Chain A
């Protein structure tokens, strides 16, 4: 018999193999998941989960698909959290700290408790990226928040009611569109294509016999 641990799903006790993740332990226990399960690989944030180890005070947050079960885990999933997402027109948005003031004024009510950072399932410095957003440093906010999976655990812990992932989302889009340097070779190529510069080449490839295309493929020069 493989080694097992005792876990508590929503307070109910189950004995499960110790090598499972929280997600696979739920399936082992008999759950058919619909909510709280997405990519199963740590990218989508669907399986935000909070737990506490029996006898300990600290509340942990994790992605259920990325976290091994431990003995004495009291587990509650957080398959949805009501984040506030403000709508805006990316083409017309002003690129200064006013935009944060208008759309997410609650970030200025941050009390600096760091509960968001402690709770982050990705180990990000959430409070720091909110500080960057407060002063309109979108680039720093974008970089600091880049690995965010928008699971919402940070917001569930925030006494100021901040929707951190949405603040970061806005900062990243502003950074990507307006602050990051433009790309000359990309614009040039788009224009060349619009002018039909490659139409002839492609039309030629379209009608070549497969044997000729094979020849072209097998004799490619591969960039070092």
Chain B
């Protein structure tokens, strides 16, 4: 329920709804987009970044909080670990069990490899589970992978590695088919035609969805398939350091039981990092839409072992995080709400940006509206702008919201807000790690036999990602990493396991004059109120 202080602004929104629903705001020119991003997007706040003094990306700027983790001590700095008697010995070790990890596991299993999946929480506790809006694929007659390529390349500011993006768009329809054959329930018309919509920055309606539980539906299906195959999944067990062989190739990981703190060793012929993103690092103090374990662990493990980062300085702030009520501050309001016709409206009842500009542009426009232009709504916990959800049923008819975005309806209904009747308040939330580990088209990092897939990878999307291309990339690159890692494992001769790179990295930190109390990977955020305690 909205309290009285929102009444005046709410009235303006209601009064203007008819007019705003009909109004088609102009899209920005390339120059206007560049200007608004440079002035208002958090990626452009120089003071919030730090320069790496060690490792493969020495001299590069990364978010200050990430720099802290990359320049922190290993969790096993002063601990001697027996690497000669591993607790697990497999062909392919997969670290992380979201969409990318699960896809990799299924394909590696298909290829006949013995597979071990480790995950620091439960299988499927991942950003995949929370992806609401959908998954892109150019499978309609008026669309093509080439148009998909142009949309994504431009949306990513012409920075994507083209060989990765080309693979993404060409394998997209096959990814949808693979999921569909596993039993994922895509929204379809009675004749089987996929119901597809626009996402921000798309020029064709190619967003496939499973209501607004797209990621959850994909994740639970993949999880079910992994379990059906009897693939070994060890949950509540984090990888805290990679293990290399004497030639510097990846050969396993040191594992930590999150509950008992027992240390374990896994030996593997190839390793896939599928650890996901970093929203719980709360860069620049932003709230996040990410799951509890999104703490950039894979970047830390990979970087220490000698992998390279690409575009680690660029994050995606989803324009529409919930700004009110406080209990769901930062939770994602799916882009599908805008796909279905809801517009962004300021406190005065004015539409101030085209709702389907790319995410970074929309986010920058909201930050401008709430900041410099002072047209934001005071939520009591910061500022927000209205996302006029009742427009959806004005445009598409009654019942659309319940049918197409039931999760959104439920989320707000718990706090007495009926999104069919009242609009909601939104503000950008830290959503996605655009950058990450640099990989080749076959999914390998700069470290031999170390693959990466999913949000931990950088370069597929460039410096911004379009809605629906992340669910796609975890499937395409997850499957590919699984196949390639399994294939490669057949030719790998097991060598002597070593953690020398960890001590070498510590020396490098010392040499660079870095003094720090921090240890990494972070594993979980610390939200515990500080009470006097032992």
Contact = CB atoms under 8 A, between A and B. Distances in A.
Interface in B481-517: none
B332 A41 contact: yes
A173 B205 CA distance: 26
A213 interface: yes
B192 A181 contact: yes
Contacts of B282: none
A221 B327 contact: no
B124 interface: yes
Nearest to B529: A28
Contacts of B422: none
A25 to B, nearest CB: 10
Contacts of B177: 186-187, 190
A43 to B, nearest CB: 5
A114 B416 CA distance: 26
A223 B198 contact: yes
Nearest to A31: B528
A213 B526 contact: no
A29 B531 CA distance: 8
Contacts of B228: 87-90
Given A30-B529, A142-B185, A182 B327 contact: no
A32 B225 CA distance: 32
A193 B140 contact: no
Interface string A167-197: 0010011111100111111110110010000
Contacts of A1: none
Contact of B414 (A38, A67, A177, A214): A67
Most buried by A among B139, B163, B190, B225: B139
A29 B186 CA distance: 42
A47 to B, nearest CB: 10
Given A184-B192, A189-B139, A223-B204, A202 B149 contact: yes
Given A19-B327, A181-B191, A202-B166, A87 B230 contact: yes
A60 interface: no
A39 B125 contact: yes
B411 interface: yes
Contacts of B11: none
A176 B30 CA distance: 42
Interface string B169-213: 111011011001111111010111110001000011100000101
B291 interface: yes
Interface string B16-43: 0000000000000010000000000000
Contacts of B291: 38-41, 44
A220 B177 CA distance: 27
Nearest to A27: B527
A68 interface: yes
Interface string A10-40: 0000000001110010011111111101111
Contacts of A187: 177
Interface residues of B, number: 85
Given A174-B183, A176-B185, A201-B146, A44 B125 contact: yes
Contacts, number: 220
Contact of B122 (A38, A43, A216): A38
A38 B121 contact: yes
A193 B137 CA distance: 12
Most buried by B among A40, A43, A150: A43
B221 A173 contact: yes
A3 interface: no
A116 to B, nearest CB: 18
Contacts of A169: 220, 224
Nearest to A41: B331
Contacts of A28: 529
Contacts of B394: none
A54 interface: no
Contacts of B211: 146-147
B87 interface: no
A90 B225 contact: yes
B213 A43 contact: yes
B183 A177 contact: yes
A183 B292 contact: no
Interface string B366-406: 00000000000000000000000000000000000000001
Most buried by A among B138, B184, B220: B220
Given A184-B192, A213-B153, A173 B180 contact: no
Contact of A182 (B169, B192, B258): B192
Contacts of A66: 411, 414
B306 interface: no
B533 interface: yes
B129 A35 contact: no
B335 to A, nearest CB: 15
Contacts of A189: 138-140, 173
Interface string B312-330: 0000000000000011100
B205 A223 contact: yes
B326 A213 contact: no
A84 to B, nearest CB: 12
B406 A147 contact: yes
B130 A176 contact: no
B216 interface: yes
Interface of A: 19-21, 24, 27-35, 37-44, 46, 66-68, 85, 87-90, 122-123, 142, 146-147, 149-150, 169, 172-177, 180-187, 189-190, 193, 198, 201-202, 205-206, 210, 213-214, 216-218, 220-223
Given A122-B410, A173-B183, A198-B144, 17 more contacts: A19-B326, A21-B327, A27-B528, A35-B259, A38-B291, A42-B411, A90-B225, A146-B213, A146-B217, A175-B185, A177-B182, A183-B192, A189-B139, A213-B158, A220-B150, A222-B203, A223-B142
Interface of B: 30, 121-122, 124-125, 129-130, 137-142, 144-147, 149-151, 153-154, 158, 162-163, 166, 169-171, 173-174, 176-177, 180-186, 188, 190-194, 198, 203-205, 211, 213, 215-217, 220-221, 224-225, 227-228, 230, 236, 258-259, 289, 291-292, 326-328, 331-332, 406-407, 410-411, 414, 524, 526-529, 531, 533
